[in-house]
Amino acid sequence: MKIRHLGIALAALLIIAFMPPLVSLLGGLTLLVGAGALIFRDLPPAGQDAVERRVLGWLRRVRADPVVEPEADVVLRPLPTTRPRRVRARIPVAERVDIPPE
């Protein structure tokens, strides 16, 4: 088999694997949007205006927030791969002897 045939077979397998969840997701979103449109249509004009103001306020808030860019002057240091060893304090030789001093 050619590489092209293997690519086509792999693409077909991936489509078979991922298409049903995508169709389910899109179908569910369509159903929710349709139900929301029917509910919105049945609201009184004052209720429709309130929903529109709320959505408009949310959109303005989303558009007003600036995207936080990482600062260029921050230098990231790599983490050490090994932990530093803890070193015990050295005891002088005179204090190590168990014989009492004379």
Total domains in the chain come to 1
Residue with tokens 């168990």: 98
What sign does the dihedral 20-26-30-32 (CA atoms) show?
Answer: positive
* Residue 77 covered by a domain: no
Is residue 88 one of the residues assigned to a domain?
no
Q: Give the integer Cα–Cα distance in Å for 90 and 96.
A: 10
Q: Is residue 14, in this structure, part of any structural domain at all?
A: yes
Can you tell me the distance from the alpha carbon of 24 to that of 47, in angstroms, rounded to the nearest whole number? 31
Residue 53 located in a structural domain: yes
Question: How far is Cα 22 from Cα 16, in angstroms, rounded to an integer?
Answer: 11
pLDDT in tens, the chain (102 residues): 688 888 888 988 888 888 888 888 888 899 999 998 998 888 899 999 999 999 999 999 988 877 666 666 666 666 666 766 677 767 666 655 566 666
Show the domain range for 46: 1-62
